Amino acid sequence: MGINVIRSELVRPSEDTPHGPFWLSNLDLGVRSGYSPTIYLFRPRHDDRSGFFSADVLRTALAMALVLFYPLAGRLGMAPDGRVEIDCNGEGAVFVVAESDIVLDDLEDFMPSKAMSDMFVPPYEKEVGPGAPLLLLQVTFLRGGGVVLGTGMHHYALDGRSSFHFIQTWSSMARGATGAVVAPFLDRRAPHARSPPVILFDHSHEYCQNAGYATSARPSELIGVIMRVTNAQAAALRAHTGESLFRSLVAHIWRCTLMARALAPDAKSRLYTVVDMRARLSPPLPSAYFGNAGVRTSVSAKVGDLLANPLKFGAQQLRMATNQGDEYARSTVDYLEMADERSKPGRELPDTDLRVISWMGMVSHDADFGWGEPALVAPAAMSYTWFIYNIGNSGDVAVAVAMKADQLARFKKLFFDENEMTW
């Protein structure tokens, strides 16, 4: 399977946009550095083969979208005091048009991996430091029809909700539905550190470089898979816990992971996740807030307790971690103000721990560029992370998993085992 690049260029905003430094909050700089690779798979429309996914239409709409989202046309920069910021210089987003000998059927059972990311998302080696672009896009035309849109958005610039907002805007402009566009809210002063800082919670577990841990695998040793949980299965899970679908699913993932890893009952396991604080701050941020508005949170419990108790036990533990509000968020911002570079979150976790990221409730499938919504939206590559997200409007949920091969086989069996969970 190969990729042939037809065109690679920088797409600038179609109108003049503000230039100069763009301040990044502590929540922006407290995330994992680098790009978040995502793919969108589109099936061909038999009634429009000649103009299917016109690269010129996409390019024109991208230039229009970058007027509203102009920081994405800039580059990473650095303030005189050494703080990372965005240099709004209008250099443009990386836009690649490619073709591949891959056919649509090859991607029916898409598995996130570094190879998939390298193939469908434009590479950029220098992920941090001045000069790094913030938006990488590649449109790949498959042999026999079909298109893969690969995106790499720098995490310092935006979170998942903001990235899907950008795709929603770009696709609306491409199909001429400009009336549906909601402009991003660009003012990032709200999540600003207090003076003096007031730290009310212990954030050291969530914001520290994890060094010296015996990890379950290097990212290169992980195998990714996307599992589908039907609406009926999701309802059955919720019936077991009486909690939200997110908490119910994560509790089930937690239990199955611990069993798949055959951990000792007296070991302590910590589960990490991220809570979107847009609606939880006081006053709340606009839903169209552009940036990172998530805070890391976690909860721990003994392996034996999680496995011996009903699923509701794990879901209730998770409730304590995800019920945080304004004070927790502002405490996090103040903690990051006082922390040094070693407090940046690491990618590695000990065998006992896991990290789950949720895209649930986000407009991940609202990406109709004029040729229909994507048949698949998925992380292109994963490392030590479980992703949960809605599959369109079906009510079904995707669970993307990355584990070592032997652990993954056990995990999948446990996840859908009727004895472990009565679907």
Say if residue 217's pLDDT is above 90.
no
Say if residue 134's pLDDT is above 90.
yes
Task: State pLDDT tens for residues 238-294.
Answer: 999 999 999 999 999 999 999 999 999 999 999 999 999 999 999 999 999 999 999
Predicted pLDDT at 124: 82
**Side-chain half-sphere CA neighbours of 284 within 13 A:** 8
3-state class (DSSP) for residue 275: strand
Burial annotation 340-363 (CB, 10 A radius, 16+ → b, else e): eeebbbebbbbbbbbbbbbbeebe
d(C-alpha 276, C-alpha 281), whole Å = 10
Active site residue 155: yes
**Which residues on adjacent β-strands are paired with residue 13?**
none
Any idea how long the chain is? Answer: 423
Active site residue 305: no
Cα 244 vs. chain centroid, distance in angstroms? 20
Say if residue 221's pLDDT is above 90.
no
Q: Tell me which amino acid residue 318 is.
A: L
Least confident of 138-152, 157-171, 368-382, 409-423: 409-423
Predicted pLDDT at 339: 83
List helix spans (H) across 142-208: 160-174
Q: How many Cβ atoms are within 10 Å of 195's Cβ, its own excluded? A: 8
Say if residue 47's pLDDT is above 80.
no
**Side-chain half-sphere CA neighbours of 269 within 13 A:** 29
d(C-alpha 185, C-alpha 201), whole Å = 29
d(C-alpha 217, C-alpha 383), whole Å = 10
Name the token pair of 192. Answer: 């600003």
d(C-alpha 371, C-alpha 281), whole Å = 38
Say if residue 212's pLDDT is above 50.
no
Residue in 118, 305, 368, 396 annotated catalytic = 368
Predicted pLDDT at 423: 43
**Which residues on adjacent β-strands are paired with residue 88?**
20
Residue in 155, 165, 203, 252 annotated catalytic = 155
CB 258 within 8 A of CB 303: yes
Say if residue 126's pLDDT is above 70.
no
CB 395 within 8 A of CB 311: no
Q: What H or E segment, with its residue span, contains residue 154?
A: strand 147-154
Predicted pLDDT at 422: 47
DSSP codes joined into one string, 111-129? ---HHHHHHHS---S--SS
Least confident of 167-171, 213-217, 327-331, 372-376: 213-217
0.75 exceeded by pTM: yes
The per-residue pLDDT of the chain, averaged, comes to 90
Q: Which of 58-67, 97-106, 119-128, 212-221 has the highest mean pLDDT?
A: 58-67
CB 385 within 8 A of CB 402: yes
Give the residue among 278, 292, 410 at the shortest CA–CA distance from 29: 292
CB 188 within 8 A of CB 23: yes
Please name each of the domains of the chain with its CATH number: 3-180 (3.30.559.10), 219-361+382-415 (3.30.559.10)
At 267, give phi and psi (nearest 5°). -75, 150
Predicted pLDDT at 349: 83
Say if residue 342's pLDDT is above 70.
no
> Which residues have a Cβ under 8 Å from the Cβ of 145 and sit 6 or more positions away?
43, 44, 49, 52, 104
Burial annotation 142-156 (CB, 10 A radius, 16+ → b, else e): beebbbbbbbbbbbb
Model confidence at 214, pLDDT cuts 50, 70, 90, reads: very low
At 41, give phi and psi (nearest 5°). -105, 125
DSSP codes joined into one string, 357-415? EE-TTS-TT---SSS---SEEEES--SS-EEEEE-TTSS-EEEEEEE-HHHHHHHHHHH
Give the residue among 400, 414, 413 at the shortest CA–CA distance from 360: 400
Say if residue 347's pLDDT is above 60.
no
d(C-alpha 410, C-alpha 416), whole Å = 10
